Amino acid sequence: MAREDAADEDEEEVRQRKDEFLNFRRNLDGMRAKQEGIESNADKLKSQGNQFFQLGLYVQASMMYSEALDLQPESTVLLNNRAMAYLKQGMCEEALADADRSLELDTSKENIKAFWRRAQALLDLGLHEQAETAANAGIAVQANNTHLSRVRRKAREAIALQRLCGVDWVGKMENGVEKRYSFSKEGEMAMTVVGHKLKATFDLSVECTPQSMVVKMQPAWPPESHPILP
């Protein structure tokens, strides 16, 4: 027991020293930033991260942003930058965590990128309803934001497509003959009339809500030979 207690005390002492050193680095970097003409280490790391990002080196970019965040843990700019670097790597959950933290710090128009990052992360995670809600929250702060509008449109189309596929839609022609429509997520559709199937592709456009959608049929090419229907 005595050895275990001593080990616990040693680990706690190491943690305290690390925290003290990190606070010292943060204070020193803050002092450098306040002095005119002296770039803080956090700013240097951010610049390096931006350069890596522009080169498509997203892993290195996120590492630089992480080091900068050690010095400025409440920087929404760094959180948003790292979130985008994570999104480029397919690390959606990590991006969502950074966006959420950024929004905890600032929900104003100046931090609109955090709304975008959050909505995009939810969309990439396949959480389409939540992505639409997140995009709406950002649009409420800054109307006509093109990035948020695009995410919302994609989320709504995904919701509508999910509702559209997997079931047969039944209707009737003018002469009373039943027709059935089936849709696939790959953009293919088929209309079946009196046992004959007509294949086509479709484009889905969601204007306002998933309940208001337009399906545009495009005949399959080359056209197949079909009998004349009654």
Residue 112 domain-assigned (yes or no): yes
* Structure-token pair, residue 127: 């959480």
CA-based radius of gyration for the chain: 27
**Strands lying side by side in the sheet with 188-193:** 169-172, 178-183, 188-193, 196-206, 213-219
For residue 215, give the nearest of 223, 205, 225 by alpha carbon: 205
124 plus 65 within the same structural domain:
yes
pLDDT digits (tens, 9 = 90+) for 70-87: 999 999 999 999 999 999
54 plus 77 within the same structural domain:
yes
The model's pTM is 0.70
159 plus 188 within the same structural domain:
no
Residue ending a domain, among 141, 163, 185, is 163
Please give the residue that has the higher pLDDT: either 220 or 79.
79
Q: Which positions ≥6 away from 177 have C-beta within 8 Å?
A: 193, 194, 229, 230
Q: Is the pLDDT of residue 216 over 80?
A: no
109 plus 191 within the same structural domain:
no
131 plus 179 within the same structural domain:
no
Domain of 26 in residue numbering reads as: 19-163
The CATH number of the domain where 50 resides is what?
1.25.40.10
Domain count, the chain: 2
Residue 225 domain-assigned (yes or no): no
For 64-98, give the secondary structure using H, E and C.
Answer: HHHHHHHHCCCCHHHHHHHHHHHHHCCCHHHHHHH
76 plus 115 within the same structural domain:
yes
How much of the chain exceeds pLDDT 70, in percent? 72
pLDDT digits (tens, 9 = 90+) for 125-179: 999 999 999 999 999 999 999 999 999 999 998 888 888 787 777 777 778 778 7
Residue ending a domain, among 117, 140, 163, is 163
